[in-house]
């Protein structure tokens, strides 16, 4: 079990959406939280709001700090790590949540499109693991590293193929890292948060897209699905699910069990394919 109360946590993409929900849930459970985000104005506002809020007992929440970060830049993520260690002297929980989710058919995507979305969604996680895992392993109490994946970490969907590639990638990273840490006898645990539909501003991802990486990917307002029987969740609820997984050291943390049938169909198709091919004798 990972203790949250009294621990130091960092959340990338923490100024809004799921990241903000995770930060709020960590504070509810008694952690000190470093909120990291690429948008300075949103970051400043989030930190001010979290500092002025009150916990369930009426007392001020645990310490909140803010740090700007561009997760696609390794040096920026390393600077975030240094900020956390200098400010608090330790790090116990790392939530790599920053991400973008534009839409575009694979045949239409440019190299710039791929560089942008891979840079944020996949390289951002790689940079986070490289920067923070040694610090977590150096922590005598161990720690927890959580990555925000998606329902798309398990099921590919048309028009968001590039997003799915990144989320499949982070799922593979988390699963492999979990196995390696277990082999090493590490006290660091990992988990994959797999959100379904959560009310966030990911539909305006391009607001932070560098001009040099403009391409065919476009923002899409998926909130139109709210009238099509799709179950939506608030960021704070998603954050509480994320923190529960951290506390229980659970590898997978899906937010919407009603999405399981689609995952099951994919896994069943793979199982059936394996059953069709007998053991071939090598020639």
pLDDT per residue over 134-163, tens digit each? 999 999 989 999 999 988 899 998 888 888
pLDDT in the model for residue 30: 93
Q: Does the annotation mark 163 as catalytic?
A: yes
Write out residues in the chain with pLDDT < 50, as ranges: 55-59, 223-227
- Among residues 163, 168, 252, 274, which one is catalytic? 163
**Residue 85 falls inside a structural domain:** yes
Task: Provide the CATH number for the domain around residue 16.
Answer: 3.40.50.720
Residues 6+ apart with CB under 8 A from 164: 150, 152, 156, 157
Domain that holds residue 15: 8-276
Based on the structure, what is the number of domains in the chain?
1
**Residue 2 falls inside a structural domain:** no
**Residue 244 falls inside a structural domain:** yes
pLDDT per residue over 102-119, tens digit each? 788 889 889 988 999 999
pLDDT in the model for residue 105: 86
**Residue 227 falls inside a structural domain:** yes
pLDDT above 90: percentage of residues in the chain: 62
pLDDT in the model for residue 225: 46
pLDDT in the model for residue 208: 61
**Residue 266 falls inside a structural domain:** yes
**Residue 3 falls inside a structural domain:** no
**Residue 66 falls inside a structural domain:** yes
pLDDT in the model for residue 204: 54
Using a 10 angstrom Cβ sphere, with 0-12 exposed, 13-18 middle and 19 or more buried, the burial of residue 118 is middle
pTM of the predicted protein model? 0.88
């Amino acid at each position: 079990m990972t203790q949250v109360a009294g621990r130091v946590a960092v959340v990338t993409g923490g100024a809004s959406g799921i990241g903000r929900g995770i930060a709020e849930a960590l504070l509810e459970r008694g952690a000190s939280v470093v909120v990291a985000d690429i948008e300075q104005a949103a970051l400043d506002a989030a930190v001010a709001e979290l500092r002025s809020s009150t916990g369930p007992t009426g007392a001020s929440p645990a310490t909140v700090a803010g740090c700007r970060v561009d997760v696609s830049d390794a040096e920026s993520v390393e600077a975030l790590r240094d900020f956390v260690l200098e400010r608090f002297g330790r790090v116990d929980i790392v939530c790599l949540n920053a991400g973008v989710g534009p839409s575009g058919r694979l045949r239409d995507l440019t190299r710039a499109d791929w560089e942008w979305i891979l840079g944020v969604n996949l390289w951002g996680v790689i940079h986070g693991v490289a920067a923070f895992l040694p610090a977590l392993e150096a922590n005598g109490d161990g720690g927890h590293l959580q990555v925000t994946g998606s329902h798309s970490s398990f099921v590919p969907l048309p028009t968001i193929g590039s997003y799915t590639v990144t989320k499949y990638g982070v799922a593979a990273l988390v699963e492999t890292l979990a196995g390696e840490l277990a082999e090493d006898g590490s006290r660091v645990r990992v988990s994959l948060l797999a959100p379904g539909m959560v009310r966030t501003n990911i539909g305006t991802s391009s607001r932070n897209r560098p001009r040099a990486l403009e391409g065919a990917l476009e923002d899409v307002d998926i909130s139109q699905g709210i009238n099509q029987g799709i179950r939506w969740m608030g960021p704070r609820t998603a954050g509480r699910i994320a923190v529960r997984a951290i506390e229980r050291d659970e590898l997978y943390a899906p937010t919407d069990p009603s999405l399981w049938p689609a995952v099951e169909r994919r896994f069943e198709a793979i199982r059936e394919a394996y059953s069709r091919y007998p053991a071939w004798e090598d020639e």
